[in-house]
Amino acid sequence: MMIPNPLALIAEITHRCPLHCVYCSNPIEMAAASSEMSTTEWIDIFQQAGKLGMLHAHFTGGEPLARPDLTKLIAGARAAGLYTNLITSGIGLAGARLQALVEAGLDHIQISFQDSREEAANWIAGAKAHAHKVELSHLIRRHKIAFTVNLVVHRQNIDHLEEMIAFIEELAPDRMEIAHTQYYGWALRNRAALLPTRAQLERAVQAVAAAEKRLAGRIRIDSVVPDYYARFPKVCMGGWGRRLMLINPAGKALPCHAAEVIPGLEFENVRRQTLEFIWKESSSFQRFRGEEWMPEPCRSCDQRAEDFGGCRCQALLLTGNAAATDPACSLAPAHHIIEAALREEANSGAAISQPISAPSFVQLQQRAGNLWSYRTNPE
Amino acid sequence: MPPPEDSSQPRLAAGCRWGMEKEKESKPGSKTERVILYPEGALRLRDTGLLILESCDGQRTFGEIIAELQAKFGDADPGKIRSDIGQFLEQLRQKRIVDY
C-alpha cells in the first residue's frame, strides 16, 4: 500500500483546562499532568515532524496556555519549519504573553465562542469566559497573525445564528468557522438536547450563504453541514493515517483524538518510537488506512476515495463496530440509527447534563470535514 | 468583491507565509516549487502561479506586476494576462491568502 505523507501534527500538549463545555469531546480518561512530556521531548518531536514533511503544528489540549513553556514550544515548532496554530479558549492569555508568542513565531490563533450572548456562552462553557475572549480578540488584531473564530452551533443557539455571525464580524477575524456539534463523548450523551431540527438547519444554511456573500474578501467562512443531515459521511481527519498524527500529553501517538475508544488497537508512544516508524509501520496507523479494511457498501462505492468510509469512532459509538460504514452515510446498513436520532431526539425538549471537570477540546473533531484542504495548485 | 486595481499593492494576508525550502525540492533537474502556508492548508506553487505570488510583496503595484509579466510573456495576449492574474488574486483574496 502506498503510504501517504503526513501533513500536520496535532500537539495535544496538556489535558488541563479551565472550561467545562457541555459538548466536550475529550477523552474521559485524561493524561495526568505528571505524565506530560517535557519541553525538550516536544521540540524533538517537532524536528522529526518537519523532517517527515509535515507542514503544520496545531497546539491544543485541554488548554495549551496551561503549559508555562508554550512560547518555547511554539519557537521549537517554527524552527522545525512548521506553521504554528494555537487553538485556545484564551483564558489566561494577557497582552505580554501574546506578544511573546507572536515573537516566538506564532502564525495563527484560533478562539472558539460558545454564543454571542454572554450569559448563554458562559453557561455552555461552565465558566465566565466570554467577556475575556472579546477583549482578547481586539488584542489579537493588533498583531500580524491569522485569526480564526470558531463558533459551535447546536439546537440551543442555532436560531440566532445571524446574530452570532454579526457578533463575530465585529471581532474582525480572517476566518470564521461555523462548527456544528458532533456527537462524541459529552456531546453524544447530550445529543437529545443539542441536535437541531431539519428546519433549523435549513435556516442556518441560508444564513451562512448570505453571510458568505456579504463578507467575501474580508472574512472567509468555513462551514460544514452536520453529518447527521448529510448524504455522505464526513472525511474524518482527512482519512485514517492519511494526513494527521495526534500526539497526546503523555506522548501517545493517535490517528485521531478519539481513537482510544476503539478496542483492540494498541498505540505507540513517541518516547519509544520515532514518528516515522509510527506513521509508516505501526499497526494502529495502518488499521483503517487505505481501502483494504472497508466493508460493503464502501468497498465498491464511488465515494470511497472521497470520504474513506467516514468516521471510525462514530461507527464504533453507534454500531459497536469500528470497521462498519459510518452510520451517518445514507448508504450505510446502520443509517436507521441516525434517522431514529433525528426523528426522536431532534424535536425533544431534553435537558443537558454538564461535565464537571472534563477538559475542553472540541474544535478539531468538529472541523474534520474541511480541515485538511491541502491543495496542490489553485483551482 | 472586485479584482485588484492598478494602484493596489497585493501581499500575502496576515498569517500566510512561504514555507521553508526543503532540500528534496531543490534537487537539480526538478522544477522549482514553493509552498505558501496558511491556516489549515497549504498552496503548492510552480510556474506562473509562483511568479505571480513572488511578485506580491506589498511593494509592487498590481499595474507593475502586470506590466512585468506582460513583458516576460510577450507572446500571450496582454488583456488575457491581466484578467487571468486579476481573477487568480481575487480567488486567493476570498480564501484570505492574499490582500490588496
Residues 6+ apart with CB under 8 A from A309: A233, A288, A294, A298, A315, A325, A326, A329
Least confident piece of the model among A147-156, A268-277, A366-375: A366-375
Substitution target in B40, B52, B94, B97 with the highest count of A β-carbons within 10 Å is B40
Kindly state whether B39 is in contact with chain A, defined as any CB-CB distance less than 8 angstroms: yes
Substitution target in A83, A218, A370 with the highest count of B β-carbons within 10 Å is A83
Task: Please give the residue that has the higher pLDDT: either A371 or A111.
Answer: A111
Tens of pLDDT, residue by residue over A179-214, are: 888 887 777 888 888 899 989 999 999 999 999 999
Q: What is d(CA A52, CA A316) in angstroms, rounded to the nearest whole number? A: 31
A345 pLDDT above the threshold of 50: yes
> CB atoms < 10 A from the CB of A282, how many?
18
Average pLDDT over residues A88-94: 85
> Counting beta carbons within 10 angstroms of the beta carbon of residue A232, is it exposed (0 to 12), middle (13 to 18) or buried (19 or more)?
middle
Q: What is d(CA A197, CA A210) in angstroms, rounded to the nearest whole number? A: 20
Average pLDDT over residues B24-43: 75
- Burial profile A335-361: b = 16 or more Cβ within 10 angstroms, e = fewer: beebeebbeebbeeeeebeebeebbbb
Tens of pLDDT, residue by residue over B57-96, are: 999 999 999 999 989 888 888 888 898 899 999 989 988 9
Under the banding of pLDDT at 50, 70 and 90, the label for residue A363 is very low
Under the banding of pLDDT at 50, 70 and 90, the label for residue B28 is low
Tens of pLDDT, residue by residue over A21-37, are: 656 655 555 666 678 99
Q: Considering only CB atoms, which chain B residues are within 8 Å of A81?
A: 19-20, 22
| pLDDT for the residue numbered A214 | 95
Least confident piece of the model among A31-40, A56-65, A289-298, A300-309: A31-40
Q: What is d(CA A226, CA A196) in angstroms, rounded to the nearest whole number? A: 9
> Counting beta carbons within 10 angstroms of the beta carbon of residue B100, is it exposed (0 to 12), middle (13 to 18) or buried (19 or more)?
buried
Kindly state whether B49 is in contact with chain A, defined as any CB-CB distance less than 8 angstroms: yes
Substitution target in A54, A174, A212 with the highest count of B β-carbons within 10 Å is A174
Tens of pLDDT, residue by residue over A96-141, are: 999 999 999 999 999 988 888 888 887 777 777 888 899 999 999 9
| pLDDT for the residue numbered A376 | 28
Q: Which of A55, A146, A219 sits opposite B16 (nearest CB)?
A: A146
Kindly state whether B44 is in contact with chain A, defined as any CB-CB distance less than 8 angstroms: yes
Comparing alpha-carbon positions, the chain B residue that sits nearest to A214 is B1
In this predicted complex, what is the ipTM? 0.87
Kindly state whether B15 is in contact with chain A, defined as any CB-CB distance less than 8 angstroms: yes
Kindly state whether A367 is in contact with chain B, defined as any CB-CB distance less than 8 angstroms: yes
Mean of all residue pLDDT scores within chain A: 85
Average pLDDT over residues A299-312: 92
Kindly state whether B13 is in contact with chain A, defined as any CB-CB distance less than 8 angstroms: yes
